[in-house]
Amino acid sequence: MMAPLLDPTLVLTGGGLIGLVVIAAALLRAWHGWLDLKRQELDRALPRTPGEEGSGMGTARIELADLKERIRKLEAIASGVEL
């Protein structure tokens, strides 16, 4: 005798596989949407003109000089030298 084509185990396995594919497709679509959102956020955060970029570099240089001065003062304090 031949096994029935719609065996319950086969139906459950097929349904589970189809459900897994649907969930994977939904998660992949959500992942691509999240990546697009992050790209848009990065595009908005980046400077548009060369002038804006220069002001950011100047600020970074000032902060770097400030940090170097603080390190120099901390090293002087650690060595016991009065400023």
Give tens-digit pLDDT for 36-50. 999 999 888 876 665
Confidence category of residue 53, pLDDT binned at 50, 70, 90: low
**Tokens for 1?**
């005798």
pLDDT of 31 > 80? The answer is yes
pLDDT of 58 > 90? The answer is no
Between 58 and 31, residue with greater pLDDT:
31
Between 76 and 50, residue with greater pLDDT:
76
pLDDT of 2 > 60? The answer is no
Query: How far is 60 from 66, CA to CA, in rounded Å?
Result: 10
